[in-house]
């Protein structure tokens, strides 16, 4: 019997069709996935950099910066502007305060407590963990201009050596109180603090003296007795503007030479406060 031979066209063949559009679709999905991953990675990196930037900015702004004013090479603070060979302008425009910090230096090799080269340093500090927040409301910052050995602390029991000390404590003048109103609040708060010290030490401490005076061509209050019965900066001036309250505490060492004392007095007299 002859085999029944069928034409090829009649043979039932199953050929798996390949859909080219299926491969293209998979490729597009993969590429899209990769693009989304890249975008997500970029967003994460930007967020991390932003967080690091904020942390770095916080650390920088909270770290006290001491800017020696001994010579041009040592002046690195933006707020210090060289004027001439006798002083450097310490300009704190944000707080409407400026001063002419002397470039005067002194070498005292016979100092029993600390021998070295004394020069002026200026900087800003926040003392939110001190009595400054209790003396008056809305404390902002303290500006310091000190005549220290090697630009550092005195390294001895205050007062000693050839040091001079100036601190300008600044508060916001909330409610735009006048000089007399601020003086009443400030002196009352300081006297309360001194009274607490007196009870702890069982030692009588007198209230601070507050007398109206003129300084820097404006009305001020001259304060004394700020340190109580402790060694420390005892004298000060209260200055009030519509925007800020300034308490200038200072110590000018009388046991140093005339040139050093004159430099300290010139600094005090150079203070300017914006209205």
Decide if 211 contacts 222 (C-beta within 8 A): yes
Residue 265 has pLDDT above 70, yes or no: yes
| Tally of CA atoms within 13 A in the half-sphere of 8 that contains its CB | 0
Name the token pair of 177. 């109180």
pTM over 0.75: no
Question: What would the mean pLDDT of 202-209 be, rounded to a whole number?
Answer: 66
Residue 89 has pLDDT above 60, yes or no: yes
Q: What is the pLDDT of residues 93-118, one digit of tens each?
A: 999 999 999 999 988 777 666 667 88
* Burial classification of residue 43, based on how many CB atoms lie within 10 Å of its CB (0-12 exposed, 13-18 middle, 19 or more buried): exposed
Decide if 62 contacts 228 (C-beta within 8 A): no
Residue holding tokens 């060492």?
253
Residue 84 DSSP class: S
pLDDT given for residue 255 in this prediction:
86
Contacts of 10-19 with C-beta under 8 Å, sequence gap 24+, read none
Instruction: Give me the residue spans of the domains in the chain.
Output: 20-63, 67-273
pLDDT given for residue 43 in this prediction:
72
Q: What is the pLDDT of residues 13-37, one digit of tens each?
A: 443 444 444 444 444 444 554 555 5
Decide if 186 contacts 247 (C-beta within 8 A): yes
């Amino acid at each position: 019997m002859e085999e029944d031979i069928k034409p090829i066209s009649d043979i039932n063949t199953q050929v798996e069709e390949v859909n080219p559009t299926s491969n293209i679709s998979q490729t597009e999905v993969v590429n899209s996935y990769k693009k989304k991953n890249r975008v997500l990675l970029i967003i994460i990196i930007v967020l991390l950099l932003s967080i690091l930037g904020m942390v770095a900015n916080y650390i920088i702004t909270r770290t006290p910066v001491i800017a020696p004013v001994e010579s041009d090479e040592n002046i690195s603070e933006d707020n210090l502007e060289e004027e001439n060979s006798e002083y450097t302008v310490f300009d704190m425009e944000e707080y409407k305060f400026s001063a002419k910090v002397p470039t005067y230096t002194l070498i005292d090799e016979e100092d029993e407590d600390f021998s070295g080269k004394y020069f002026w340093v200026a900087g800003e500090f926040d003392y939110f963990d001190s009595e400054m927040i209790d003396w008056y409301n809305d404390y902002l910052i303290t500006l310091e201009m000190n005549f220290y050995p090697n630009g550092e602390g005195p390294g001895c029991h205050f007062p000693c050596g050839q040091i001079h000390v100036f601190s300008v404590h600044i508060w916001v003048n909330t409610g735009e109180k006048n000089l007399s109103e601020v003086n009443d609040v400030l002196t009352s708060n300081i006297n309360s603090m001194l009274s607490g010290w007196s009870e702890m030490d069982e030692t009588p401490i007198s209230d601070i003296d507050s007398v109206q005076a003129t300084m820097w061509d404006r009305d001020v209050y001259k304060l004394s007795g700020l340190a109580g019965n402790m060694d420390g900066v005892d004298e000060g001036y209260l200055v009030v503007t519509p925007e800020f309250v300034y308490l200038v505490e200072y110590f000018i060492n009388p046991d140093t030479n005339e040139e050093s004392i004159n430099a300290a007095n010139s600094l005090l007299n150079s203070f300017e406060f914006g209205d």
